[in-house]
Amino acid sequence: MLRAPLALSALALLAACATPQERCIRQGASEQTRIVNEISETEANISRGYAIHRQTIPETIFHTCRRVSDGKVVGYYPCPETYYRTVETPVSINIGEERKKLRGLKDALPAASKRARDAAAQCRIQYPE
């Protein structure tokens, strides 16, 4: 499947198109973004009662390809193609520990948000558009 490589290429192009100011702001907000994502995941874990472990597994499929010369088939050869799939496995959690982790993340969020705002203001000064 070509979707994953094309999607990654598109993301790389979009990242390359970002202005220096946008890249600076995104970098300054990375801690806040990480905390927000962890809060969402922890809340989902508590709601479900278990966590989900995600693992990417490569799978290689062998095809037979034709070697063509001057419009004629002159031979065959194996041509492997690797696909990747994500396997999700439920993992037991300690709900009490997850709630404690959630409180810590929520307590850390305001400070991370302030640092992100300060970094954004600095980025706007450093890289005016």
The answer on 58 and 81 residing in a single domain is yes
Query: Are the C-beta atoms of residues 109 and 32 closer than 8 Å to each other?
Result: yes
Q: How many domains does the chain have?
A: 2
104 and 124 in a single domain? The answer is yes
State how far the Cα of 110 lies from the Cα of 104, in Å rounded to an integer.
Answer: 11
Residue 10 domain flag: no
Residue range of the domain that includes 98: 18-49+93-129
What is the structure's pLDDT at 10?
Answer: 57
One digit per residue, the tens of pLDDT, for the chain of length 129 reads 445 555 555 555 555 678 999 999 999 999 999 999 999 999 999 999 999 999 999 999 999 999 999 989 999 999 999 999 999 999 999 999 999 999 999 999 999 999 999 999 999 999 888
Residue 3 inside a domain? The answer is: no
